[in-house]
Amino acid sequence: MHVAFALVCIVATVIAVAGICGKLDLPSPLILIAVGIGASYLPFIPDVQLNPDVVLVGLLPPLLYSAAIHTSLVDFNANRRSILLLSIGLVGFTTVGVGVVVHWLLPDLGWPGCFAIGAVVAPPDAVAATAIGRRIGLPRRVVTILEGESLLNDATALVALRTATAAITVTVSWQHVTFEFIRAAGGGVLVGLAVFFVIATVRKHLTDPVLDSGLSFITPFGAYVAAERIEASGVIAVVVAGLFLGHKAPIIQTAQSRIAERMNWRAISFLLESGVFLLIGLQARRIITDVANSPLGAGRVFALCGLTLLAVIVLRMVWVFAARYLLIRPAPDAATRIKPPWTYTALLGWAGMRGVVTLAAAFVIPTTTPRRDVLLLIAFTVTAGTLFLQGFTLPWLARMLKVPSPDPVADSLARANLLHQASQAGLAVLERMQEDDPHDVSTTIRDRMERRDFAAWERVGASENETPSEIYARRRRTMIDAERKRVLEIRSTGTVAHEVVEEVLGMLDVEESMLDYSEDERRRMRSVTRSLALEGDCDHLRMARPPIEPDARGECPDCIRDGTTWVYLRMCLVCGHIGCCDSSPMRHASAHYASTSHPVMRSAEPGEDWRWCFVDEITG
């Protein structure tokens, strides 16, 4: 009962703090740590000791798996050099560097103990970095590298820690260290691939989202335990299985199973990640109390903790800049065709916050190790220090360096273009179907796909007037409210089976959630004012053209002539004719192309410079 009550209190605190932080636009990870530190000194709060087995076996696998299934394998592979240099090279560099600093300040600890604490504080935890990064809008490439680093660096650090702790009691050769690393990495990859093949095979025969969700819940623990049983890296096994299962999900899972898995893991990750930060804070009183009577003296302990924190920060900055200019020399981004500036590297170096794995790993250090209480305080100082120092200043640094955040206008344009390409592929299949169509179903399908595409294109613009899709969403949401009210009235009579009522309510919920998502996206689009210009990828878009003056200003002459209205305006790049977009009733821009064959038009909306090729049907 005591454990159950404690869990309920932790979850309630997490939900309350996260809700308040969301209202006040505060970083909830940092606030949760502060709340935990304060709570640890309250007399009625029981002493909470972090059990390393609970963290490394109970919390780490699901957190890694949740991150892995939502990580793009394509982006991971595109940034693999940077990720591997951080997750392997930087962890080793930090382990050695911190070990040297600690040995200089505390020589009686011995080299194995110094390298052990170096391995403990070496791996950053990207949970806080990516949470803050997404909130302030860090570049996607930076976030991708941080996520990839966090998926693998724990494995490197734990292998280094295992070797260092073993060396405390016995002599360990470099050949043994190399063998341990190869066995951990290679075995983890093999186990992860094996788990992927098994789960993928089973999933192909599962159509029930409940069973699929149950299989998803046991996958990270199964991969972790299987790898650890053969003394391989459970972390790598979980990551490999998650990356491939997430990549193949559209093929091996049903749509309902993917939706259920996405929502389930989103809730699980929120509770685990937030609970972890609260637990970090709750360790404060115990760790500080244990070291209070240390014979080293407060001044020396303070110097140890402060200089180790400084070393962790400086070593990361040195490594990322050295790797950028000496090893990686990054190529231009595939999407923007712009070489990542040095400011990206600066943000990457500053976003090295540590997390719960650092604290849990510190408790793995044997109790017979000299100055163990001081080592625990060092781990806590590095964890809390990086989270507060770097976490609170990361938004300021991003603003000072003027690092551009992901452009929602570009995202909307890419989404609209991708939907259009998908629609064309679907319509091509529809055209090849030779079966009779007495009910004209094909026309209905074309109309629905067209309306879906139009709604996506409408979100690209920034008009303050309601677009057709917004009018549809507003009216349809009002209708759904009435429909749900009527279903609930019928449910109260008891004349319809509960299962039927739940199915109908579920259908209404899915439709309403899609409308809510579109509304949120539209609201976000209207809050930005960026100029959008993309580099095309076809001959028509790349063709150099002399400046063309529009034949009208801020209006569609054809709409005025026909007595209709327009949604957005487009301009022909050959003759300057202004026409209305396809969401408008008469679609005058497309009609102009049909009559003239002028291949390219551009947006005539303020702040937009994207173009559309009617021939190749792509944006640029």
Among 403, 421, 447, the domain boundary falls at 403
Same domain for 377 and 442?
A: no
Q: Same structural domain for residues 484 and 378?
A: no
- Of 466, 493, 526, the residue that ends a domain is 526
- pTM, two decimal places: 0.81
| Residue 309: both structure tokens together | 């924190």
Residue 38 lies in a domain: no
pLDDT 10s digits, 417-460 = 777 777 778 878 877 776 776 667 777 878 778 777 777 777 77
Task: Tell whether 8 is covered by a domain.
Answer: no
Cα–Cα distance, 309 to 117 (Å, whole number): 12
For residues 390-396, give the mean pLDDT.
84
DSSP 8-class letter at 580: E
Arithmetic mean of pLDDT, 179-193? 86
Of 89-93, 145-149, 541-545, which one has max mean pLDDT?
A: 89-93
Q: Mean pLDDT across the stretch 275-282?
A: 84
Q: Tell me, what CATH number does 583's domain have?
A: 3.30.40.10
Looking up tokens 């000072």, which residue turns up?
Answer: 400
Range of the domain at 121: 48-267+298-403
The rounded mean pLDDT for the chain is: 82
523 or 138, which is more confident? Answer: 138
**Are 355 and 454 members of one domain?**
no
Model pLDDT for residues 40-81, shown as the tens digit of each residue:
888 878 777 777 777 788 888 898 898 888 888 888 888 888
What is the pLDDT, as a whole number, of residue 97? Answer: 92
Residues 375 and 262 in one domain: yes
Both 444 and 518 in a single domain? yes
507 in any annotated domain: yes
Taking residues 236-247, report their average pLDDT: 91
**Residue 42: predicted pLDDT:** 85
**pLDDT score, position 526:** 57
pLDDT for 529 equals: 47
Give pLDDT, residue 524.
Answer: 63
Given 403, 418, 444, the domain boundary residue is 403
**pLDDT top residue among 500 and 533:** 500
Check pLDDT > 60 for residue 148. yes
**Is the same domain home to 597 and 488?**
no
Contact (Cβ atoms closer than 8 angstroms) between residue 118 and residue 167 = no
The residues, ordered by sequence, that sit 6+ positions from 443 with a Cβ below 8 Å of its Cβ are none
Q: pLDDT tens digit string along 549-604?
A: 888 888 899 998 888 888 888 989 888 899 988 888 888 999 998 899 888 888 88
Question: For residue 13, with 0-12 CB atoms within 10 Å meaning exposed, 13-18 middle and 19 or more buried, which class applies?
Answer: middle
Tell me if 286 is assigned to some domain: no
Same domain, yes or no: 182 and 151? yes
β-pairing, 569-572 vs 578-580, is: antiparallel
* Average of per-residue pLDDT across 541-545: 73
Whether residue 247 sits in one domain with residue 160: yes
Q: For position 78, which CATH number holds? A: 1.20.1530.20
Q: What is the pLDDT of residue 313?
A: 93
Distance CA(183)–CA(584), nearest Å, equals 62
**432 and 457 assigned to the same domain:** yes
| Element housing 222 (H / E) | helix 209-229
The DSSP secondary-structure symbol of 496 reads S
Backbone angles phi, psi at 310, to 5 degrees: -65, -40
pLDDT at 533: 47
pLDDT at 301 exceeding the cut of 80: yes
Query: Are 223 and 237 part of one and the same domain?
Result: yes
Q: What percent of the chain has pLDDT over 70?
A: 88
Highest mean pLDDT (candidates 24-33, 215-224, 423-432): 215-224
Q: Report residue 17 as tokens.
A: 């703090």
At residue 44, the pLDDT reads 79
Q: Is there a domain that residue 37 lies in?
A: no
Kindly give the residue spans of alpha helices, DSSP state H, lying in 79-173: 80-84, 91-105, 111-121, 126-136, 140-169
Burial code (b: 16+ CB inside 10 Å, e: under 16) for 518-537 equals: beebbeebeeeeeebebebe
DSSP state of 330: P
Whether the per-residue pLDDT at 147 is higher than 60: the answer is yes
Per-residue pLDDT at 82 exceeds 50: yes
Q: What type of residue sits at position 204?
A: K
- How confident is the model over 479-494, as a mean pLDDT? 88
Residue 1 resides in a domain: no
Neighbours of 304 (CB within 10 A): 23
pLDDT for 374 equals 86
Band the pLDDT of 195: cuts 50, 70, 90. very high
Residue 25 has pLDDT above 60, yes or no: yes
Q: What is the pLDDT of residue 531?
A: 46
pLDDT at 223: 94
Yes or no: say if 90 and 119 are a contact pair by the CB < 8 Å rule: no
Q: Specify the range with the lowest mean pLDDT, choosing from 197-201, 290-294, 392-396.
A: 290-294
What pLDDT is recorded for position 530? 46
- Least confident span in 168-172, 403-407, 486-490, 614-618: 168-172
- Is residue 30, in this structure, part of any structural domain at all? no
Q: How far apart are CA 89 and CA 563, in angstroms?
A: 67
More confident residue, 210 or 519: 210
Mean pLDDT of the region 455-477: 76
Bridge partners (DSSP) of residue 572 are 601
Tally of domains in the chain: 3
Inside any domain, residue 26: no
Tell whether 68 and 133 lie within a shared domain: yes
Confidence of residue 130 (pLDDT cuts 50, 70, 90): low
Q: Specify the higher pLDDT residue, 245 or 269.
A: 245
Most confidently modeled of 343-352, 398-407, 426-435?
343-352
Selection from 119, 126, 177 nearest residue 148 by Cα: 126
Same domain, 309 and 456: no
pLDDT tier at 391, thresholds 50, 70, 90: confident
Interval 457-484 mean pLDDT: 79
What letter represents residue 129's amino acid? A
